[in-house]
């Protein structure tokens, strides 16, 4: 292995729970209004099962489509310029992003201690380092967390859109990051906490896929293609307590 490709939210930074809360607030507001309009019972977004199955690791619009499809709801696509008031796929995605940015501004961004130690160790031994995230806010989060200088390459939602890369669970973004680092997929390790991300890494035939289980989905990460599962990247450091 000569390179490490890290997902951001839930692997390096503690923003996965902020994303989850933003999705929950956004979807529940939409579902509650829809229930009032149709007379059907309000079934709230499940921040456990619904988040991991339909949203986590996916590009924003894909997460909206996937979750709403699970509830039998189909909306117009709209466009990336749709305002947050629009009841379209992109409009709901914009609503979620506004909630996310508000929560980040209020609460800040925390880095997992084990992940920070692993990033420093990887740089020290000469491993290449990239962040591969579906988030369009990836660069802002890296800066807010103070870890932008620890990674050499960033492939995020903005870059994926510019280059026409398919999002996770397709392997395109991971493959693009490996290419930018100048390494073959077989010589790179992927670190992912999302089922879609693990699936993408396995599809890209990366040399090692490490599942990071922060929420108790280790068996599912293994079933989707992780070679091993850890609860924190600190477990992978020599001399770390087991």
113 is annotated as an active-site residue: no
Contact 66, 55 (CB under 8 A): yes
7 is annotated as an active-site residue: yes
- Measured CA angle at 135 (ends 5, 88), to 5 deg: 145
Question: Residue 85 corresponds to which tokens in the numbers above?
Answer: 């008031």
What letter does residue 71 receive in the DSSP assignment?
T
Catalytic residue among 9, 56, 82, 172: 9
The residues, any chain, with a CB within 8 Å of residue 10's CB and separated by 6 or more, are 16, 17, 56, 193, 194, 212, 214
Contact 183, 128 (CB under 8 A): yes
Catalytic residue among 7, 50, 156, 193: 7
Q: What are phi and psi of 159, to 5 degrees?
A: -65, -40
Catalytic residues: 7, 9
């Amino acid at each position: 292995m000569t390179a490490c490709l890290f997902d951001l939210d839930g692997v390096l930074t503690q923003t996965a729970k902020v994303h989850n809360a933003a999705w929950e607030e956004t979807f529940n507001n939409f579902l509650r209004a829809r229930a009032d309009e149709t007379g059907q019972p309000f079934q709230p977004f499940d921040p456990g099962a619904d988040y991991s199955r339909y949203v986590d690791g996916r590009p924003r619009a894909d997460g909206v489509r996937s979750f709403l499809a699970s509830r039998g709801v189909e909306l117009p696509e709209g466009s990336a310029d749709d305002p947050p008031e629009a009841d379209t796929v992109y409009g709901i995605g914009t609503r979620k992003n506004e909630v996310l940015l508000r929560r980040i501004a209020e609460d800040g961004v925390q880095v997992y201690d084990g992940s920070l130690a692993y990033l420093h160790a990887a740089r020290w031994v000469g491993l290449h380092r990239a962040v591969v995230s579906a988030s369009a806010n990836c660069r802002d989060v890296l800066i807010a967390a103070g870890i932008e200088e620890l990674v050499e390459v960033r492939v995020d939602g903005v870059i994926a859109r510019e280059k026409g890369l398919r999002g996770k669970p397709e392997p395109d973004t991971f493959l693009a990051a490996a290419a930018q680092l100048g390494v073959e997929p077989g010589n790179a390790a992927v670190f992912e906490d999302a089922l879609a991300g693990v699936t993408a890494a396995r599809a890209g035939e990366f040399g090692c896929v490490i599942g990071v289980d922060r929420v108790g989905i280790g068996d599912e990460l293994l079933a989707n293609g992780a070679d091993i599962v850890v609860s924190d990247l600190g477990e992978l450091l020599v001399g770390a307590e087991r």
